[in-house]
Amino acid sequence: MARIKIGIVGTGYTVGIAKTHINAYKEIDDAEIKAVYDIVPERAEKYIKEHNIHTAAVCNSLNELLGKIDALSICTPNNKHIEIAKAALDNGKHFICEKPLSNSYEDGKRFLEYMKNHPNKVVAMIGFHLRDIPKIRYIKHIINEGKIGRIYSIVQQTGGSRIADPVNVKREWRMDMEQSGAGAIPDFGSHLLDLANFLLSDDNGKICKVQCMKNTFIKERQAENGAGNLPVTNEDTAVFNAVTDKGTLCAFYVNRIGIPFESLQITGEGGMIYSSGRDPENLSIQLKDKNGGYSSPPETPVLPQEFTGREGHLGLISEFINAIKSGEPVSRGIDHGFYIQYLLEKINEAALTKNTVSV
C-alpha cells in the first residue's frame, strides 16, 4: 500500500496540539504529511518551516486540503470539530479529531447518527492519547493481572498554568463558551474520564452517577485585538466526583490557572498505585494480601520495555494508520468520543443544578 497522505487542519495561535500529531506522523513510515490548512495562511507557512515538513503544501481552504490527502488530523477550536469531521466524512477521508468531539452532547449525538447512516465508511478517532503513557499502560497491565483486585477508588488531577496571568494572557477561544463549550472540564476532564474508563470499565464498572462544583476565578481578560476586556464565559477550575455501577469512587480535579503537578492514585483490595507528574518516569506500587494489611513499603519498579515506545501521540497515530491499512476496529472511535461527551454533559448538569446526576 502506498504511503497514506496526511493533512493537518489548524495549527493553533497560542498553544497548538498539531505539533504532537506532526511529530508522531514523522515516525511512521506509512504516512506522509502532504497538506496543512489554517484560517491564517501565514501560520500554516510558518508551521511547515518550523516543523520541517517540506512535503506539505499550504492550502487556502479546507476543500483544497481534502483534495490532496487520504486522512487528516483536526486540531481546531472545539466549535469547528463537527463541521470539519462532516466534510471529511462526505469526502471519504479518514480523520482523527482532537477532544472533545464537540461543544455539546446534542451536536455530538447528531454527528454520531450522521456518521452511522453515511454511505462512506472511514476510520475516525478521538485524540485520547494519555492511555499510551508508559506508566498508564503498565498500570492497566497490573490491573488486568488481578493484583489490585477490586478497585475502591481512583483519584486524578491535571491541568496547567499557562493562562494563570490575568493581565498579560488575552482572552482566547478556550475562554469563550461559544467556541469552546465548557472550560477546564472538557479540556482536561475529558482525558481523565477516558483514563478512568480505560482503567476501570473492564472489571470495576462504568460511571453511573456524577457530582460537580466549578468556578471562574479570572472573570475577564483583554480581547486578543486589544480592544478592551471581554468576559471569560467558562470555568477555569472544577472538582467533580463519580461512582461506578460496581461502587468504585472517582475524584477528579482540573485547573487551568495553576496546578503543581498531575497525579493518579488507585486504591484497591490488593494494594495502592501512585503516579506523579513530578517524576514522569517513576511509579509507586504498594501491594498487599487481599485479606490482610500492608506489610512492606512501596516499590518503584523499572517499567518493562514493552510498555514504552508509544509516547506523545505516537500510540494514537499508530492505531489510526494501522486501522486504515488493515481495516481493524479502533479503541478510540467516535462512539467512545460521544460517550465521553455524554459524561461531560452530565457533569456540567450536576454543576449547574448542584445535584447528584444519574448517567
- Is there a single domain that holds both residue 241 and residue 279? yes
Q: Cell numbers at residue 285, please?
A: 506500587
Count of CB atoms situated within 10 Å of the CB of 297: 7
- Is there a single domain that holds both residue 39 and residue 81? yes
The CA distance from 330 to 316, in Å, is 10
Per-residue pLDDT of the chain (359 residues; tens, 9 = 90+): 689 999 999 987 666 789 999 999 999 999 999 999 999 888 899 889 988 998 999 999 999 999 999 999 999 999 999 999 999 999 999 999 999 999 889 999 999 999 999 999 999 999 999 999 999 999 999 999 999 999 999 999 999 999 999 999 999 989 999 998 899 999 999 999 999 999 999 999 999 999 999 999 999 999 988 889 999 999 999 999 999 999 999 999 999 999 988 999 999 999 999 998 877 667 999 999 999 999 999 999 999 999 998 988 999 999 999 999 999 999 999 999 999 999 999 999 999 999 999 99
- Is there a single domain that holds both residue 256 and residue 318? no
- Is there a single domain that holds both residue 135 and residue 258? yes
The pLDDT of residue 277 is: 80
The pLDDT of residue 14 is: 65
The CA distance from 65 to 9, in Å, is 8
- Read off φ and ψ for residue 306, nearest 5 degrees: -65, -20
The CA distance from 332 to 137, in Å, is 15
Pairs from 164-171 (Cβ < 8 Å, separation ≥ 24):
164/257, 164/258, 166/218, 166/221, 167/222, 169/221, 170/221, 170/222, 170/223, 170/224, 171/220, 171/221, 171/222, 171/223, 171/224, 171/229, 171/230, 171/232
335 assigned to some structural domain: no
Where b means 16+ CB within 10 Å and e means fewer, 186-210 reads bbbbbbbbbbbbbbbeeebebbeeb
- Is there a single domain that holds both residue 86 and residue 146? no
336 assigned to some structural domain: no
The pLDDT of residue 150 is: 97
321 assigned to some structural domain: yes
- Read off φ and ψ for residue 196, nearest 5 degrees: -60, -45
103 is in which domain, residue-wise?
A: 4-129+314-330
The two most distant CA atoms of the chain are separated, in Å, by: 65
- Is there a single domain that holds both residue 223 and residue 197? yes
- Is there a single domain that holds both residue 285 and residue 301? yes
Helix, strand, coil distribution of the chain in percent, nearest 5: 35, 25, 40
- Read off φ and ψ for residue 323, nearest 5 degrees: -65, -35
70 assigned to some structural domain: yes
Give me the residue label for grid cell 486578543.
224
The pLDDT of residue 34 is: 97
- Is there a single domain that holds both residue 306 and residue 319? no
- Is there a single domain that holds both residue 256 and residue 288? yes
277 assigned to some structural domain: yes
- Is there a single domain that holds both residue 53 and residue 101? yes
Which of 105, 35, 117 has the alpha carbon at shortest distance from 70? 35
The CA distance from 98 to 76, in Å, is 8
Supply the DSSP symbol for 79: G
269 assigned to some structural domain: yes
> Which distant-in-sequence residues (6+ apart) come within 8 Å of 104 by Cβ?
181, 341, 345
323 assigned to some structural domain: yes
Which of 25, 206, 17 has the alpha carbon at shortest distance from 128? 17
- Read off φ and ψ for residue 330, nearest 5 degrees: -105, 160
> Residue 178 is which amino acid?
E
The CA distance from 7 to 73, in Å, is 6
Where b means 16+ CB within 10 Å and e means fewer, 121-152 reads ebbbbbbbbbbbbbbbbbbbebbeeeebeebe
Structural element, H or E, at residue 86: helix 81-90
* CATH code of the domain in which 105 resides: 3.40.50.720
- Is there a single domain that holds both residue 256 and residue 350? yes
- Measured CA distances, 56 to 32, 35, 40, 69, 144 (Å): 8, 5, 16, 10, 42
Supply the DSSP symbol for 56: P
Counted domains in the chain: 2
* CATH code of the domain in which 154 resides: 3.30.360.10
The CA distance from 168 to 310, in Å, is 36
- Is there a single domain that holds both residue 57 and residue 139? no
> Which residues on adjacent β-strands are paired with residue 209?
243, 358
347 assigned to some structural domain: yes
